[in-house]
Amino acid sequence: MEEKIIYGVTALFDSPNNLVKAVKSVNEAGYRKYDVHTSYPIHGMPKAMKLKPSKLAYFALAFGLTGTTLAFLFITWTMSIDYKLVIGGKPFFALPAFIPVIFEVTVLLASIGTVLTMLFYFFKFPNNKHPLHDTEYMQKVSGDGFGICIEAKDNNFDEEKIKSFLSNIGGLNVTSIFYDSVELNHKNKVFEPKFIGFLILVFILISGATYFSLNKLIYMPPFTWMHDQNRLDAQESSVMFGDGFGMRPPVDGTVARNQMPYPYSGHPELALNLVNPSAPTKENYELGKKKFDIYCSPCHGYFGKGDGRLNNQFITPPSLQSEKIRNWKDGQIFHVITEGQNSMPSYAKQILPEERWAIVDYVRVIQRAMNAKEEDIK
């Protein structure tokens, strides 16, 4: 059997008063590497042990401020920069509405951070391999015992001397605690293989579950029931109609919104009844010119002379400057644009009614321009 390596010497005390007195004596005797064990905190013990106040409050502050900053930056980026949406008429940077989440993240990060720091950094937990575990000393302390343990690491450690010292200051059950072989080889690393393995397992499980649920599961019934409904979607076929088409043409007599059906379709003689509603404003003439140049000039030419760009390749239309056309009523010109005439197709689907009247006005302009009289120049 190998020689047992000593961890420290422990002693129990029977009352909190005696414990505090004993701790003061231990301090005065010059021991530094010692610990006091009680199953509940004793008032005045940190002072007796000359412990400095815990620095964890600063960690809490640091974690908290980190949380505030991260949350603020993230929310500002997502809401005010990356994907700006007007929500409730509020500005993109709606700070009052950001505050609640920023506050919650602050508290969350501060709490988790502080606790994890305390457990893993300050306490170096989990640690079930400490030599004091499973000793009679710890048994008593867990009940109603108050104990002091002076560790072998202390500079002034001398097993026999300490044993007598502790007995002298009122210690009972003065015992030496030794390391077990398991405990001795226990090095307190944070990233032990088991822990890393655990982390990897958690990572795989969570990623796998997320991948499965968001890429596979939500496309499987019954989760598709809201998605795959019995309604008719655009361009779907349908068994209800003989031709199998889901999309049907509009019923006869359907008119588009804001559309007035043309009343004189097929009756150019009645087009004389049409009254030109457009006002002789500059905007109107500019509109007319623009539309004429776009739609009419390819065949009719820019001045209506019939010398358009499609000359000799397509039909050459009669000149709009002719007596006949100059004597036409506005309504008749409107009718021709709307219905077409001979080789000219209908332009009703391309030019809105008010635009057609503007073209009519413009035609009158170029007619007057090409047949100007003396009075026009004055």
Partner 1 sequence: MEIDYSVEKPVIEKSPTVISINDAIMRPTAIKADKFFYISLSVALLALTVGAVSLFYTFWYGIGMWGNNRPVGWAFGIVNFVFWVGIGHAGTLISAILFLLRQKWRTGIARFAEGMTIFAVMTAGIFPLIHVGRPWLAGYLFPYPNQHNLWVNFTSPLLWDVFAVSTYFTVSLIFWYIGLIPDLAVLRDKTINKIKKVIYAIFSLGWRHSNRHWNHYEMVYLVLAGFATPLVLSVHTIVSFDFAVSILPGWHTTIFPPYFVAGAVFSGFAMVQNVLIFIRKVFHYEHIITIDTLEKMNKIMILTGSMVGYAYGMEFFIAWYSGSPIETFTFINRAFGDYAWAYWIMISCNVVFPQLFWIKKFRRTIPIMFVIGVFVNVGMWFERFVIVVTSLSRDFLPSSWHYYKPTLTDMGLLIGSFGLFFTLTILFTKSLPVVSIAEVKAVVKGSQPSHNGGH
Partner 2 sequence: MTNNNLNFGYEKKPVPGYFLKMGAILAGIGIILIILSLFVDPVRSSFNSLIMFAFMISIALGSIFLIALEYIAGAVWSVPFRRVLEGIGLIIFVVPIFAIPVLLNIHTLFSWTHPEVIATDSILKNKAPYLNTTFFYVRLVAFFALWFLFYYLFTSNSKKQDATGNQALTKRNIKLAAAFLPVFAITISLTAIDWLMALSPHWFSTIFAVYYFAGSVLAALSIWAIISITLNENGILVKGLKSDHYYSFGALLFAFINFWAYIAFSQFMLIWYANLPEETFWYIARGTGSWMYFSIGMIVVHFIVPYIFLLPQPAKMDPKRVKWAAIWILFAHFYDLYWIVMPTLDKNGLSVSWMDFAYLIFGIGLIFVVFSLWSKNRNLVPIGDPKMKQSMEFEL
Q: Is 48 or 274 the residue whose CB approaches partner 1 more closely?
A: 48
In the complex, minimum distance from the CB of residue 62 to partner 2, in angstroms, rounded to a whole number = 13
Q: Does 41 bind partner 2 (CB under 8 A)?
A: no
Q: Which is nearer to partner 1, 16 or 353 (CB)?
A: 16
Q: Which of residues 43-72 bind partner 2 (CB under 8 A)?
A: 43, 57, 61
Query: Which residue lies nearer to partner 2 by CB, 64 or 317?
Result: 64
CB of 109 to partner 2, least distance (A): 17
With CB under 5 to 8 Å by kind, the binding choice for 89 among partner 1, partner 2, none is partner 2
* 164 contact, one of partner 2, partner 1, none, CB 5-8 Å limit per kind: none
Q: Looking at this protein, which amino acid is placed at residue 315?
A: I
Residues between 102 and 121 that touch partner 1 (CB under 8 A): 103-105, 107-108, 110-112, 114-115, 118-119
**Cα gap 42→94, rounded to integer Å:** 49
- Binders of partner 1 in range 77-106 (CB under 8 A): 78-79, 82-83, 85, 87-88, 90, 94, 97-98, 100-101, 103-105
Interface characters, 1-30, with partner 1 (x: CB under 8 A): --------------xxx-xx----------
> What is the closest distance, in whole angstroms, from the C-beta atom of residue 210 to partner 1 in the complex?
7
| Partner that binds at residue 279, options partner 1, partner 2, none, CB closer than 5 to 8 Å by kind | none
Where in 35-64 is the site for partner 1 (CB under 8 A)? 35-46, 49, 51, 53-54, 56-57, 60, 64
Per CB under 8 A, the list member of 75, 152, 162, 333 interacting with partner 1 is 75
Residue 127 C-beta: closest distance to partner 1, Å: 4
Rounded to an integer, what distance in angstroms lies between the CA atom of residue 290 and that of residue 296? Answer: 10
Q: Which is nearer to partner 2, 89 or 221 (CB)?
A: 89
Choice between 86 and 256, CB closer to partner 2 = 86
User: Does 88 contact partner 2 by CB under 8 A?
Assistant: yes
Question: How far apart are the two ends of the chain, measured CA to CA in Å?
Answer: 131
Number of chain positions touching partner 2 (CB under 8 A)? 9
The 3 state secondary structure assigned to the chain is CCCCCEEEEEEEECCHHHHHHHHHHHHHCCCCCEEEEECCCCCCHHHHCCCCCCCHHHHHHHHHHHHHHHHHHHHHHHHHHHCCCCCCCCCCCCHHHHHHHHHHHHHHHHHHHHHHHHHHHHCCCCCCCCCCCCCHHHHHHHHCCEEEEEECCCCCCCHHHHHHHHHHCCCEEEEEEECCHHHHCCCCCCCCHHHHHHHHHHHHHHHHHHHHHHHHHHHCCCCCCCCCCCCCCCCCECCCCCCCECCCCCCCCCCCCCCCCCCCCCCHHHHHHCCCCCCCCHHHHHHHHHHHHHHHHHHHCCCCCCCCCCCCCCCCCCCCCCHHHHHCCHHHHHHHHHHCECCECCCCCCCCHHHHHHHHHHHHHHHHHHCCCHHHHC
Positions 194 through 253 that interact with partner 1 (CB under 8 A): 210, 213-214, 217-218, 222-223, 226
* Cα–Cα–Cα angle for 290, 293, 297, rounded to 5 degrees: 160
- Kindly state the smallest distance separating residue 72's Cβ from partner 1, in Å: 11
Pick one of partner 1, partner 2, none as the site partner of residue 320 (Cβ within 5 to 8 A by kind).
none
C-alpha of 349 from chain center: 44
Structure tokens, 47: 């002072």
Nearer to partner 1, 32 or 161 (CB): 32
d(CA 196, CA 194): 6
Q: Contact with partner 2 (CB under 8 A): which of 5, 51, 99, 196?
A: 99
* Of positions 29, 45, 49, 97, contacts partner 2 by CB under 8 A: 97
Query: Where do contacts with partner 2 occur on this chain (CB under 8 A)?
Result: 43, 57, 61, 88-90, 96-97, 99
